[in-house]
Amino acid sequence: MMRQETMLIGGQWVSASDGGTLDSFDPFLQKVWATIPQATEDDVTSAIEASDAAFRGGWRQTPGRDRAVLLNRLADLMDQNADDLARIETTDNGKVIRETRAQVGFASRNYRYFAGLADKLQGETIPLDNGDLFDFTLVEPMGVAVLITAWNSPLTLLANKLAPALAAGNTVVIKPSEHASCSTLAFGRLVEQAGFPPGVVNIVTGDGRIGPALSTHPKIAKISFTGGIVTARKILTAAAERLVPVTTELGGKSPNIIFADADLKAAVIGAVAGIFGASGQTCIAGSRLLVERSVYDEVCAAVLEKVGTIRLGNPLDTATEMGPVANRAQFDRILGVIAAAKAEGAEVAIGGDAAMGEGLENGFFIQPTVIVNAGPDLSVLREEVFGPVLCILPFEDEAEAVRIANATDFGLAAGIWTNDIRRAHRMARAVESGVVWVNTYRASFVGAPFGGTKQSGVGRERAIQTLREYTKVKNVMIDLSEEERDPFAMKL
Ligand code: NAP
């Protein structure tokens, strides 16, 4: 039966005030499987007002211990409902169930991690030059935080933002992508079940038309956004009007660099999984594989052999390694990028087209595609494809590897495969990215700060320092002196 979703505003599950809806497609069957409300601007305003009322009405004064109890309860509920949440997300965005299932566990771990920090938001006492003055800081929540997520990993991306926002005492308005809102809405039911007061967590759905309303309302104190650079610029421009701080988690064109001294078997598996996991639709996809010249042919052959064995199929089947891409627009765009690369003379060694075959007839399947001997002029080497397309290119030495790795506007992640510990350290410092993996790739753990540099974004998620992005520091100075003083003499 088709799901008919509603949104969560001020503790009520509601349709759009004008009754508008959007279809949500199952990308494996290319069928509408749910409808979601297309919120109006008034609905967004109601959500922000409800969030602000909940903040001022008590949530900001809630002891950290109580927030921690709620966050831990929410994590328990996620674990208990993990199979359901994963199935909903996989049906909505086509990501293989083995990954969405693991991601629900990752998300619940995130809530537990920040539950542990909710009662540790402490300030400092600061010794000043003048001993008569007692100085200390208060760490305070910011207020209403707007959390906007992309469709590729809705629950994980949300946890990266919601867990620290709530732990720090903020209230939120969440906007998932129109292409995959259902898991976030199912999660909203668990928020309610966990016992969060009405209005603390609000969820509005709809397409980019409601974007402006989500970044311009005067009661918004913080925005955290995961998505593409074009949308990020719009949000940053709107936020600049009111000086609202924005965390941006954006795209990448990440290099995976294999040196000749590496464990090549492990490196090849890491390289293939690093790009074709999630059909290449991850911000950290290792889409540029740099291989030292002396082992280039050997690595290319091993990569192509491995790619030829990737199992495409129903994303709900635990044996499937690559599902469909998430929607029609993605499908058309990725095939367009591949066609443009071919037109520019790219040497496609495997793949390069839509994937056909038994069980794939109805889905947005694209063949895992590898371009070898990728020259620096290929536009596919500069653009984020966000699809199953790997470019392999050779390098002569460490200096050239660094130069190629950094020849991108992005700076999200990098992989380095070597058994030389000195080289690993040198490379980790030299690559311009927010995340560096050595002898592994796409390993994600709560506690390790995640985020980009350059055009990949600003801010860090999943770690202790993330709390700073959802709090403000107030300095308090108390004059304890008793002597009479010149009222015009400034204390310095
Ligand atoms: P997108 O088009 O930028 O959309 C992201 C979110 O912003 C969606 O919820 C979208 O809603 C919403 N949005 C659209 N216009 C808006 C506006 N004017 N104001 C406010 N919100 C607006 O990106 P996407 O295609 O969903 O995601 C792919 C991108 O996300 C890739 O570049 C990928 O690398 C990046 N990403 C980054 C990370 C990371 O952690 N660094 C993780 C995952 C993905 P609609 O979808 O309904 O239009």
Pair type for strands 389-395 and 288-292: parallel
Distance separating alpha carbons of residues 110 and 450, to the nearest angstrom: 13
Residue of minimum CA distance from atom 37 in ligand 1: 250
CA nearest neighbour of 441 among 412, 409, 464: 412
What is the structure's pLDDT at 374? 86
**What predicted TM-score, i.e. pTM, was given to this entire model?**
0.97
Ligand 1 near 211 CB (within 6 A)? yes
Distance separating alpha carbons of residues 279 and 150, to the nearest angstrom: 15
What is the structure's pLDDT at 377? 87
State the residue for tokens 């008590």. Answer: 58
Dump pLDDT digits (tens) for 185-214.
999 999 999 999 999 999 999 999 999 999
The residues, any chain, with a CB within 8 Å of residue 172's CB and separated by 6 or more, are 51, 144, 145, 146, 147, 161, 162, 165, 166, 200, 201, 202
State the average pLDDT over residues 241-265: 98
Neighbours of 187 (CB within 10 A): 28
Share of the chain above pLDDT 90, in %: 96
Q: Helices in 217-263 by DSSP H: which ranges?
A: 229-242
Asked if residue 170 has pLDDT above 80, the reply is yes
| DSSP-based helix, strand, coil % in the chain, nearest 5 | 40, 20, 40
Q: Helices in 5-118 by DSSP H: which ranges?
A: 41-56, 64-80, 82-93, 97-115
Q: What atom of ligand 1 comes closest to residue 151's alpha carbon?
A: 26
Ligand 1 near 383 CB (within 6 A)? no
Residue of minimum CA distance from atom 35 in ligand 1: 227
Which residue(s) pair with 475 in the sheet?
Answer: 137
Gap from CA of 230 to ligand 1 centroid (Å): 9
Dump pLDDT digits (tens) for 19-39.
999 999 999 999 999 999 999
- Residue 53's H or E segment, with its range, is helix 41-56
Q: How confident is the model at residue 452 (pLDDT cuts 50, 70, 90)?
A: very high
The residues, any chain, with a CB within 8 Å of residue 463's CB and separated by 6 or more, are 446, 447, 448, 449, 450
Known catalytic residues are 249, 283
Ligand 1 near 186 CB (within 6 A)? no
State the average pLDDT over residues 434-438: 98
Gap from CA of 249 to ligand 1 centroid (Å): 9
CA nearest neighbour of 226 among 283, 309, 170: 283
Ligand 1 near 179 CB (within 6 A)? yes
What is the structure's pLDDT at 428? 98
Whether 220 contacts 235, CB under 8 Å: no
Residue of minimum CA distance from atom 21 in ligand 1: 211
Average pLDDT, the chain: 97
Neighbours of 207 (CB within 10 A): 14
For the chain, domains (ranges, CATH) are 3-250+452-475 (3.40.605.10), 255-438 (3.40.309.10)
Residue of minimum CA distance from atom 12 in ligand 1: 208
What is the structure's pLDDT at 163? 98
Share of the chain above pLDDT 70, in %: 100
What is the structure's pLDDT at 147? 98
Asked if residue 491 has pLDDT above 80, the reply is no
Asked if residue 485 has pLDDT above 90, the reply is no
Gap from CA of 301 to ligand 1 centroid (Å): 35
What is the structure's pLDDT at 199? 98
Dump pLDDT digits (tens) for 331-361.
999 999 999 999 999 999 999 999 999 999 9
Q: How far separated are the first and last CA of the chain, in Å rounded?
A: 71
